[in-house]
Structure 1
Amino acid sequence: MELLDGKLVSAKIKEDIAAEALDFFNKNGRKPHLVAILVGNDGGSETYVASKMRNCEKVNFQSSLVRYDDHVSEEEVLQKIREINADETVDGLIVQLPLPKHIDPEKVTETIDYRKDVDGFHPINLGRMMRNLPCFIPATPYGIMLMLEYYQIETSGKHAVVVGRSNIVGSPMSILLARNSQPGNCTVTLTHSRTKNLPEFIKQADIIVAAIGKKNFVTADMVKDGAIIIDVGINREQSSETKSGYKLFGDVDFENVASKSSWISPVPGGVGLMTIVGLLKNTLKSAKKEIY
């Protein structure tokens, strides 16, 4: 068993991003600039956004945070997005999810200029990804592909089973793994909570991408020997063992599955760290006008 070490890979890639960002500053007189909009006081969202801001500082980016309380109107948020779209000093814009129920996340996503959509959720970016055209790839799938590339994992001709069909992870992962690229060229089965006999599909997989949002869902009896396992799950449980007061678990029963795998990503320390890297790389691409 080999570890897909997100800590190691993200640190190496962030070194490269920082060097490119410094070069951008020397040529343009400003840093790549990421703006985050945070609505409300959700604990998980606070943690994610704070991490993104810290990472921007580490790689020579400028970052800005726009805060609203839970009662802000949808129109006020949309108007702020329009203002940021028009601001030439801003390269990337993210709106942290989840949003309060009175704010439509689809409206928010479609209001963001696709050229600043560094989360990769805009329909134009998703459509371009489908056609293998230049685009911002959703940050988590992008990070996963960067990890596979770093470890030079051979994916061509492999059978990949993606567990979970969200627009954020599962669906784009199925597209990226099937594309004519390296990593890629997989035969992909996209499964979800309504798939009948789901364990039987998982057992056939050379590559498993677990993104269904259920703690320890993938168990050892579902995994064939030598499988490559990418655990996207982040399931929080209260814990007195940690300073934060909670403990993270993946969608894969790591303790019992690891010995059967050839490669496996841990939680924490795996895909979550690569998501930040995907976001930073997208922001740098935006600053350099690589997507237009």
Structure 2
Amino acid sequence: MTLTATSAPALPASTPPKKAGARLVPRMLSRTAVNGVLALAMLYTVMPLLWLLMAATKNMRDLFGTNGFTFGRTFDLGSNLAHLFAAGDGIYLRWLGNTALYAVGGAFIATTLCVAAGYAFDKLSFPLKEKIFGLILLGVLVPASAMALPIYLLASKAGIVNTFWGVFLPSLVFPFGVYLARVFSAAYVPAEVIEATRVDGAGDLRTFLSVGLPMLRTAFVTIFLFQFTGIWNSFFLPLVMLTDQHLYPLNLGLYTWQTTSLNQGHPEDYLLAITGSLVAVVPLVIAFVALQRYWKAGMTTGAVK
């Protein structure tokens, strides 16, 4: 009996382990690319504001005779501000007050209506609820500039053209805020809490004021900031609605100064428009810095379940 030796099966060749450096290179490249994009976005955002700050410190000679991203040789920010507030018998302060009234009052009322409507669409049952909500969403798709002419025609029928109400009343409508409020209500207001208050005998209005509204505080601040910024930066609607300078908001007033500086040979008005633009940015910065805690929390709603 002869024994034949059989060869053992060949083991597959083991692949050499990848080097740690080879894995780190793509990760570092990806991180570098992301940081580079973020740096470009930051420059795109900050550079106009930086130029505005620098230009507001110059006189007319330095404004056109020096680099745009340097301070004025004599740093005339104080005298420019004094000239701004004294020009036209203090018309800038009137524009600033008008804008604050349009923006703060309009945003507060609009936000209250949006939060109440969003809560109702989320927690209450009534006929044609989803169809009505769909119509509201259609309003989100229509740009505000396209609505300026129909609003003007309606205001003309109502006799409120060139009045405070012609600009203030349209600012109370904010369809996107209703959508946001419904999303916030679904995320922040548990249905069990609403059912418990109903068992205790509370009506829908009392439930909303006592339970729903406190839970929607973050939603209120977020929607308020959106609408406040939108009204503060509004331009086209006041342009078609107003002819009385004493009713102008800041954007429209600054536009008139820029127009007179270019078309009517008043170069000093150009410096007024620049300094006024810098002052107009300050309330927006203060609002976002003061309310950023609520705003950042609102922007991440629904990100983590």
TM range (shorter): under 0.3
TM-score by length of 1: 0.21
If the length of structure 2 is used for normalisation, what is the TM-score? 0.21
Rg bigger for which structure? Answer: 2
Structure showing greater relative contact order (alpha-carbon pairs closer than 8 Å, 6 or more residues apart):
2
More strand by share: 1
